[in-house]
Amino acid sequence: MKVAIIGQGYVGLTIAAFASKKYSVVGFDNNQKIVDQLNSGVSHIEGVDSELMKIALASGNYRASISGSDIAGAEIVVIAVPTPLDSERKPDLKYIEAACKTVAENVTGPVLIINESTSFPGTIRNFIKPLIEKLSENKYEHLYAISPERVDPGRVDWDQKNTPRLYAGLTPEASAKTREFYSSFCDVLVEVSSPEVAEAAKLFENTFRQVNIALVNEFAQIAHALGISVYETLAAADTKPYGFMKFNPSAGVGGHCIPIDPTYLAHVADGLGVPATFIKRANEVNLEMPKYVVSRLAADNGGNLSGKKVQVIGVAYKPNVADVRETPAELVIAELKCLGAIVNWHDPLVKFWQGGESTALGGAEIAVVITLHDVMDPVQVSKSAPYVFDTTGKLTGVKGL
């Protein structure tokens, strides 16, 4: 059976790597560089080993393509494209819209269309299905389903195989075919009663994290004002064997999920007249953290950062990935520059970012650690400047949250 996967990023390529063990997979992406790289057996995604792609290519079960016509003959189409926010921080479905166009123009018969991109409840029923029907002038009667992706890039204990997968079709036939597809590479499949439940569950999972991260970030500020260690306090609370889950403070949230998905839920809630106040406040707290961190730097350094050399260490949004999407490091750098600091950054995984290059560790008067990758030596980082401020809680003998 041929499967087309639209979007070969973190989600789409991960699915492609697993699915190509059983199916013939076309990985469609509109980025030529990514397609060329994948066809030469080089994965651009942490967690998807290039060796795996080489094996899939050699078996003839995988190829990447930039040509929509290559999805012809597929029986299943999986959509895994970005779902960002627009300039007004509202859901932006333009990539899903483009993916629907590719499907409508290129499938050659009835197919099962599964959306894995994160979006608000009602996306498969009220957006994707009517759009494909309109664009293809109802040429075929397709099946539609949702199976939100839960991959955590860089994580090794929970992967595509052992992470339970939610799914629901718009019809029982769509549900059954979706189950059959994923059961070849997922151990635990959880069917829910409607696509809206699956879509909402995905958003709520990430909202749970967003709100709790905001709560601990606010608590870090309270703990500092109280003159106590936030980490010792959290460790103490964590000795309670029930009713408590530990989250760690940080310079803010990043990546494609936590800073964005909750706003998709807030958007739909607003439309229903239920104000999502927790989500909005949590967004504010997390987005204010970079300013708070810089204010602590300034307070410890004579109240003025103007003209001071500052190195930002670790610009990826989390450890052990090169992903800089929505990274709080960007807001920290902007705030430092706003206060007149002379800023450079160091990240052994990112190397190039925003037209600039990672500098060697050290050489600044002040260092602020946003992300600590495993390849970085904590002792060297701790000694990289006369004043080091750690937002990760992993360094000893330095200032921190």
Ligand X SMILES: NC(=O)c1ccc[n+]([C@@H]2O[C@H](COP(=O)([O-])OP(=O)(O)OC[C@H]3O[C@@H](n4cnc5c(N)ncnc54)[C@H](O)[C@@H]3O)[C@@H](O)[C@H]2O)c1
Chain positions 47 to 86 lying near ligand X, rule: CB under 6 A, are 80-83
SS3 state at 353: strand
* The only residue of 52, 257, 315, 333 in contact with ligand X, by rule CB under 6 A: 257
For ligand X, the nearest residue by Cβ is 9
* The only residue of 1, 2, 21, 31 in contact with ligand X, by rule CB under 6 A: 31
257 is catalytic: yes
Sign of CA dihedral 32, 29, 4, 149: positive
* Identity of the residue, 4 or 336, whose beta carbon is nearer to ligand X in the bound complex: 4
From the list 111, 165, 124, the residue with the least C-alpha distance to 1 is 111
Among the listed residues 100, 186, 257, 338, the single catalytic one is 257
Buried b vs exposed e over 52-88: b needs ≥16 C-beta within 10 Å? bbebbbeeebbbbbeebebbebbbbbbbbbbbebeee
68 DSSP assignment: G
Report how far residue 25's alpha carbon sits from residue 114's, in angstroms, rounded to the nearest whole number.
15
* Identity of the residue, 206 or 311, whose beta carbon is nearer to ligand X in the bound complex: 206
HSE-CB of 200 using CA atoms within 13 angstroms? 11
Stretch that binds ligand X, among 2-10, 178-186, 221-229, 299-307 (CB under 6 A): 2-10
Alpha helices in 107-194 (DSSP H): 129-135, 172-182
Q: Are 196 and 125 in contact (CB under 8 A)?
A: yes
Site mask for ligand X (CB under 6 A), range 292-331, x = bound: ----------------------------------------
* Identity of the residue, 8 or 392, whose beta carbon is nearer to ligand X in the bound complex: 8
Chain positions 109 to 128 lying near ligand X, rule: CB under 6 A, are 116-118
Minimum distance of ligand X from residue 29's CB (angstroms): 4
Minimum distance of ligand X from residue 385's CB (angstroms): 32
* Identity of the residue, 8 or 384, whose beta carbon is nearer to ligand X in the bound complex: 8
SS3 state at 388: strand
Task: Kindly list the catalytic residues.
Answer: 257
Give the residues lining the site for ligand X (CB under 6 A): 6-12, 28-31, 34, 80-83, 95, 98-99, 102, 116-118, 149-151, 153, 256-257
